[in-house]
A and B are shown apart, each in its own frame.
Chain A
Amino acid sequence: MDWSGSDREAGGWRMLSGLLADSHLMPMESLPARACESAAFAGFPHVLIYLGDLQQQVLRLLTGEGVRAEDHLAQLPVQGSVAGRAFQHGQILPAGPAEEEGRDWWVPLLDGTERMGVLRVTSVHDDDRAREGMERLASLLALILHSRRESSDVLARAERVKPLNVAAEMQWKLMPPRVYADGRVVIAAVMEPAYQISGDAFDYATDGPLVHLSIFDAMGHDTAAGLSANLAVAACRRTRRQGGGLVACGEAVEAELIGQYDRRRYVTGILATLDTRNGMLSWVNRGHHPPVIIRDSRWATHLRCPPAHPMGTGLGLESRVCHEQLQPGDRVVFYTDGIIEAGGAGDAQFGLERFTDFLIRHHADGLPVPETLRRVIHAVLDYHDHRLQDDATVLFCQWLGPRPDLTEEAADLVGLPEPGRPAAAEQDRSTP
């Protein structure tokens, strides 16, 4: 087939417009085949969709009409595969040598900035324009996949390699995506054990120039702990969305918990708001570990704010709003017990210092933030032999500056492959 420049332009357009038109009335099971059909117009005769599991340890093939697991690699590890490297670093990487039909590539699949998985794309061309086309295809497929998340069990199943407990089933629905970024902030979160959550939850939201951040830890390790966490997040969001401040949010959570559990259950947490115009972080401590600030990859310190009692205990201590002036680039880290505490009596702690050292070291290595958090949480899991006594959650927020439109730094920090940016494979393109 001959491809002139204008043919390719038209083919690229046809790929995207075809998928957009299909997207309205397409069941999930048709997407793998439809993606192939549309992508062929742009010089991509084969496309496979791989999705990361909840723990981001494996990438699994999304099957459907015309795409059967037995015809392809059904599962790839994130650690130790080229596909995994594309996923971890947010880079388009060659999946094999050039063949007659073209060459295969691994392309990161990002919903906004959340890493969903990777595409394996066969491309008849091997140039910047082809990479740009693959990146556009991945962006659109990610949006379509995201739009089906709430209505497809096929997608939900693809994301899990083992059964979830009831609390995990609730919490993963409750919480926002694990990565968000714009020119002002990078937010990322991880939670383990991803398949067996008890009472942890994180929440964040942008609100004009403000970014709201909260982390919760409900007492107990049962389904009721999951219910308490859901109650806490919902009560806090409701108050916030009606214009209530941080103290009011904490009080609303307390009132709901007392109403449901009559002081038999409580939730600790940090409720915070970052004003991205000036870097002022305001926060209320409801009986929780104070956040840590990491500055300049050298310096880590615990913020201080007298705690009010855990929400739901009704002990009547006064909530105080504390303030901290951030500098551009500062990272605020919220965390729960499981990150630092021992697995049980006698076990050594993973420890806060080890945790912050890990964050600082990997940041210095230039790893994308979501990948750093993935590695830190796996380090915590490994340290405890994958038997956590308590949920371990990290909510991370880096303040970049006041301008939402200056996105270059954010793109680097989250590992966003940029169309037109020379791909990492540039140097080894000549090697077959």
Chain B
Amino acid sequence: MTDSDLHLDIVETRGPLAVAAVRGEMDLHTTADFYPRATALIDDHPHVILDLSGITFCDSSGLNTLLRLRRHADENGGRLTLAAPTDRVMHILRLTGIDTVFPLYADVTEARAAQPPRPS
């Protein structure tokens, strides 16, 4: 593994909910490998909180990956929540208007608190 890889570290899973941390650069090259790993997580746990605090770079392909994952979660009856975006990620989310389409929280604790109650 090199520094330019994009990691998906699963922090916690609880029923349909998973919390995962994204770490590294999100661009065309890194997201190709990342996307199937993330969809596999969503398949098992459709309510996913992504902790974005470890993203050091994000371009249009990175943003597109987040949008595709959002759709994948929707199609599986779940929801993709973003937490703790870095300034850089927040900038690109705002610039594109996409900050308004994601549930977006300052940190993971807030994001977790906002999750719908677990189905019994």
Binding site for B on A (CB under 8 A): 217, 219-222, 263-266, 268, 285, 287-289, 306-310, 313, 315, 317, 337, 344-345, 389-390
Which residues of B does A touch, CB under 8 Å? Answer: 25, 28, 56-57, 59-61, 63-64, 67-68, 71, 95-98, 100-101
A310: B residues at CB distance < 8 A: 96-98
Given contacts A317-B100, A389-B59, 13 further A-B contacts (CB under 8 A): A219-B64, A221-B61, A264-B68, A265-B64, A285-B97, A288-B96, A308-B97, A309-B97, A309-B98, A313-B67, A317-B101, A337-B60, A345-B56
Identify which of B25, B60, B61 gathers the most chain A CB atoms within 10 Å of its CB: B60
Contact B25 A307 (CB under 8 A): no
CB within 8 Å for A219 and B63 given contacts A345-B25, A345-B56: yes
The answer to whether B101 touches A309 (Cβ under 8 A) is yes
Q: Per a CB cutoff under 8 Å, which of A217, A306, A309 touches B60? A: A217
Contacts of A288 in B (CB 8 A): 95-96
Q: Which residues of A contact B67 (CB under 8 A)?
A: 263, 266, 313, 315
Residues of A within 8 A of B28 (CB): 220-222
Which residue from chain A places its CB closest to the CB of B59 in the assembled complex? A390
Provide the residues of chain B in CB contact with A309, threshold 8 Å: 96-98, 101
Chain B nearest Cβ from A215, distance in angstroms: 14
Complex CA–CA separation, A289 to B97 (angstroms): 11
The chain A residue with its CB closest to the CB of B68 is A264
C-alpha spacing A390/B61, complex, angstroms = 12
Chain B residues near A315 (CB-CB < 8 A) = 67, 97-98, 101
Contacts of A287 in B (CB 8 A): 95-98
B residues in contact with A263, CB < 8 Å: 67-68, 71
User: Do B60 and A220 touch (CB < 8 A)?
Assistant: yes
Name the A residues within 8 Å of B95 (CB-CB).
287-289, 307
CB nearest to A315 among chain B residues: B101
| Beta-carbon nearest neighbor of A287 in chain B | B96
By secondary structure, the B interface counts as: helix
Q: Which residues of A contact B60 (CB under 8 A)?
A: 217, 219-220, 266, 268, 337
Q: How far is the CA of A315 from the CA of B25 in the complex (A)?
A: 25
Query: Closest approach, in angstroms, between the C-beta of B74 and any C-beta of chain A?
Result: 11
A248 to chain B, nearest CB (A): 18
**How far apart are A146's CB and chain B's nearest CB, in angstroms?**
35
Bound: A219/B96 CA distance, A:
12
Given contacts A222-B28, A289-B95, A345-B25, contact A266 B101 (CB under 8 A): no
In the complex, are the beta carbons of B97 and A307 less than 8 A apart? yes
Residue of B nearest to A310 (CB): B96
Question: Could you say which residues of chain B place their CB within 8 Å of the CB of A345?
Answer: 25, 56-57
User: How far apart sit A289 and B96, CA to CA, in the bound complex (Å)?
Assistant: 8
Q: What chain A residues lie within 8 Å of B56 (beta carbons)?
A: 345
Contact A268 B96 (CB under 8 A): yes
Pairs A-B, 8 closest by C-beta atoms: A219-B60, A287-B96, A307-B97, A345-B57, A345-B56, A315-B101, A309-B97, A317-B97
Contact A307 B61 (CB under 8 A): no
Query: Which residues of B sit under 8 angstroms from A285, Cβ to Cβ?
Result: 97
Question: How far in angstroms is the closest Cβ of chain B from A336?
Answer: 10
Closest to B57 in A: A345
User: What residue of chain A has the Cβ atom nearest to residue B102's Cβ?
Assistant: A315
- A residues in contact with B98, CB < 8 Å: 287, 309-310, 313, 315
* Complex CA distance for A401 and B68, rounded to whole angstroms: 46
CA distance A307 to B95 in the complex (A): 7
Residues of A within 8 A of B96 (CB): 268, 287-288, 307, 309-310
- Cα A311 to Cα B97 with chains together (Å): 11
A219 contacts across to B, CB distance below 8 A: 59-61, 63-64
* Set B57, B64, B97, B101: member contacting A344, Cβ < 8 A: B57
Task: Find chain A residues with CB under 8 A from B64 CB.
Answer: 219-220, 264-266
A290 CB, nearest partner CB in chain B, Å: 9
Q: CA separation between A287 and B100, bound complex, in Å?
A: 12
Q: How far is the CA of A266 from the CA of B71 in the complex (A)?
A: 14
Closest-by-CB residue of B relative to A312 is B64
**Most chain B CB inside 10 Å of its own CB: which residue of A263, A306, A307, A390:** A307
What would be 15 A-B contacts, judged by CB atoms less than 8 Å apart? A219-B59, A219-B60, A219-B64, A220-B28, A220-B60, A263-B68, A263-B71, A268-B60, A268-B96, A287-B98, A307-B95, A308-B97, A310-B97, A313-B67, A337-B60
B31 to chain A, nearest CB (A): 10
Nearest CB on A from B90, distance (A): 14
Contacts of B68 in A (CB 8 A): 263-264
